[in-house]
Copies of this chain bind each other. A is one copy, B any other.
Amino acid sequence: MMRTMTLRKLRASRRRGSSAASEDATGGTGSRDERKQRTRRALLDAALELMQGERSFSSVSLREVTRSAGVVPAAFYRHFSGMEELGLALVDDSFKTLRRSMREARAAALPATHLIRRSVETFLGYAHTHRHHFQFIAKERFGGSSVIRFAVRKEVHLFTSELATDLARFPLAGKISTEDLQMIAALVVQSVMMATEAFLDMAPNEPDDAAQLYQQTEKQLRLIFIGAQGWRSKPATRA
């Protein structure tokens, strides 16, 4: 709870100094709009960075964000009405990159059976290269403000729906109703997300735990597909 540098000193060393501000975005070239988008991204990135490791989104302050974006607090309001709006923008960003990755993976023509493995692989790839985005999602899926929480859930739901339509292309999916496919997809997404989150904040010097986690998750997926194989949807009881 102690800062070593006073506000004044920090601000004095800001212009092209960048000693403490990690994401300085002011200055530079480009059209007015480009420059604006740049500091907007600086704010988003700063917020994401600040929650790495120990903190939750709701514990990150507006001033902290502007500080490490290299901008004065008041400037924040030129981009967002408050932290909640920034949070929603982060949800958007995170899923935009995720969906892009998955769409590319899907684009490669599929031998059906390898499709799941490929999907899981690209998902893990996403989680690895965009780990900040993923960890943000993982945290805000349960914690924090309800509006952000629901935004995340809506996106996750959409994501599982896409997986469900992929599953429908499977040969042995004939006996399974679309509703049940959705339920199976939810189970898969759940497991993979959980495992990924656990994996990401594991101590990197304990590779044994990581291997064990990976094996367990693979087994879980296999068990789910065995279950799906034996599944028989009741003829939809609809009124």
Residues of chain A having any CB pair with chain B under 8 Å: 53-56, 58-59, 138-146, 149, 153, 180, 182-184, 186-187, 190-191, 194, 197-198, 201, 216, 219-220, 223-231
Contact = CB atoms under 8 A, between A and B. Distances in A.
Contacts of A220: 183, 186-187
6 A-B pairs with the lowest CB-CB distances in the bound complex, closest first: A227-B227, A143-B143, A223-B227, A58-B59, A56-B143, A139-B143
Contact of A230 (B53, B180, B191, B226): B226
Give the dominant DSSP class at A's interface. Answer: helix
Q: How many subunits of this chain does the assembly comprise?
A: 2
B194 A190 contact: yes
A79 to B, nearest CB: 19
A133 B231 CA distance: 36
A11 to B, nearest CB: 24
6 contacts: A58-B58, A138-B142, A146-B201, A183-B220, A229-B230, A230-B230
A182 B230 CA distance: 22
Contact of A186 (B138, B142, B216): B216
Nearest to A145: B54
Contacts of A216: 182-183, 186
Contact of A56 (B59, B183, B197, B225): B59
Contacts of A201: 146, 149
A91 B153 CA distance: 25
A149 to B, nearest CB: 7
Given A139-B142, A186-B220, A187-B191, 14 more contacts: A54-B146, A55-B58, A56-B143, A58-B58, A58-B59, A138-B142, A142-B197, A143-B144, A153-B198, A180-B219, A223-B227, A226-B231, A227-B228, A227-B230
Nearest to A58: B59
